[in-house]
Amino acid sequence: MNNNELLSFSDEQAHQPCLPINKKAEPWNLLVVDDELSVHEVTQLVLKNVTVLGKNIAIHSACSAEQAKELMGSKTHFAFALIDVVMETDNAGLSLVKWIRETKQDPNIRLVLRTGQPGEAPEQDIISRYDIHDYKEKNELTAKKLFTLCYSCLRTYNDIIKAKEMQKMLRHSEKMEAVGRLASGIVHDFNNILGVILCNVELLQQNPFQNEQQDKKINSINKAALMGKDIVNKLHSFTTNKLENKESVNINDIITRIDKVIDQSSASNTKLTYQFDSNIWLTYIVVSDFESALFNLVINAKDAIQHNGNVLIQTSNCVLDDDFCQLNPEAIAGEYVLLTVSDNGKGISPQVMQRIFEPFFTTKTAGTGLGLALVYGFVNRSSGYITLSSELDVGTTFKMYLPKTLPNH
């Protein structure tokens, strides 16, 4: 590559726009793929202090298509790539674009092709087929134009990601709604069936058989029917909004009242620790549902601990701001009482996390798969929000946000 092919910039750099920095947000990852070192240096110089949509730009450099593939094979999520067309081969950049879209199957990253050879644009079908955001000659990119290009690419990437997240949330919401309707129908039908079974068992128990073996069979039927009734009641809890039972409560008082039961629900190899905010706000909830949700979270944490471990139960006041809600679109900004249950167990894989709150979904050899579904249902009925973070072999944290009691409650 000749010196006249280098990326050039004018004095517009001093006047490039800059948006406020959001220190909490992860930076945009930009990949620069070019075999000329000077291009990397100048791009770093221009974009190192630039922010787009409140986030900094982290620039990653690759000097060949093969090196770019190695970087893209890491855990880093790239939003934008500036790719030279001619590098180790005359079409290395185009081959990299094809690899990104077809082999790596990344439809989101914004791709911009650059060349130092004016007039040699890639074929039109390449640009349309692989969703190339733009094609630029290097001498076109002044500092301001490079910022404009970055802003355009990152804004488009952000819109794509948000749209897909909203679609995912909508599908999840529709799925949970469908499951709720199905569960409601199951509750009705099974209640009728179990009612007949339990009534007949009760009649049989009033006239005991002379045969002890037959008595055991009747008791076994009764026990199984009662277990079925318990599952139906849990499903009923998942699908019913008990508005009439809600009250303004201090969750510290509830946890303190049932702490002995919580301790008994955990295994001997698990240490339970409590950290309470002494000035905790009141929240408007169904107390029995809160207790059930807490038990389920503790049992879930206990089951995740294979040897000796710790479970921490924390309460605090918190305010969810617009920044949080932007990252968590289902959340509503406001004041919340926060219950956190964390453990240092085996953690949860990303694949399981996607389905963790679905009724009847379980990874355990024994269990109904209703525990965390009931937690989700309780939080949803309480107009709250729940988050889950986990890392394999490190641990899991559930955060349950319950709205602060309004004055009229």
Helix (H) or strand (E) holding 30: strand 28-33
Say whether domain 243-403 belongs to CATH 3.90.226.10: no
pLDDT at 271: 87
User: In the beta sheet, which residues pair with residue 110?
Assistant: 80
Residue 120 pLDDT > 70 = no
Contact 234, 292 (CB under 8 A): no
Percent of the chain with pLDDT over 70: 80
d(CA 354, CA 356): 6
Of the pLDDT bands very low, low, confident and very high (cuts 50, 70, 90), residue 13 is: very low
Gap between the Cα atoms of 205 and 5, Å rounded: 94
Q: Is 383 left (phi over 0), alpha (psi -120 to 50) or beta?
A: left
Per-residue buried b or exposed e for 214-250, using 16+ beta carbons within 10 Å of the residue's own CB: eeeebeebbeebeebbebbebbbbbbeeeeeebeebb
Tokens 């726009």 label which residue? 17
Q: Give the residue among 198, 175, 206, 226 at the shortest CA–CA distance from 358.
A: 175
Helices (H) and strands (E) in the chain, counts: 12, 13
Which pLDDT band holds residue 312 (cuts at 50, 70, 90)?
Answer: very high
**Does the 18-141 domain belong in CATH 3.40.50.2300?**
yes
- Of 137-146, 229-238, 293-302, the poorest mean pLDDT is in 229-238
Nearest to 395 by CA among 342, 340, 341: 342
And the tokens for 268? Answer: 């001997």
Evaluate if residue 33 carries a pLDDT over 90. Answer: yes
Residue 81 DSSP SS3: strand
The residues, any chain, with a CB within 8 Å of residue 118's CB and separated by 6 or more, are 137, 139
Local confidence band at 14 (pLDDT 50, 70, 90 cut-offs): very low
Q: And the tokens for 331?
A: 């959340």
Q: How confident is the model over 128-135, as a mean pLDDT?
A: 81
Which of 147, 145, 126, 128 lies closest to 137, judged by CA? Answer: 145
More confident residue, 4 or 59: 59
Q: Is 250 helix (H, G, I), strand (E, B) or coil?
A: coil
pLDDT of residue 71: 92
Q: What is the pLDDT of residue 193?
A: 84
Q: What pLDDT, on the 0 to 100 scale, is given for residue 222?
A: 84
Q: State the pLDDT at residue 30.
A: 94
Q: Which residues of 25-62 are buried (b: 16+ CB within 10 A; e: fewer)?
A: eeebbbbbbbbbeebbebbeebbeebbbeebbbbbbbb
- Beta carbons within 8 Å of 298's beta carbon, 6+ residues apart: 262, 265, 266, 272, 311, 313, 341
Is the Cβ–Cβ distance between 99 and 69 less than 8 Å?
Answer: yes
Domain boundaries, the chain: 18-141, 168-239, 243-403
Highest mean pLDDT among 116-130, 231-245, 277-291, 354-368: 277-291
Portion of the chain with pLDDT greater than 90, in percent: 27
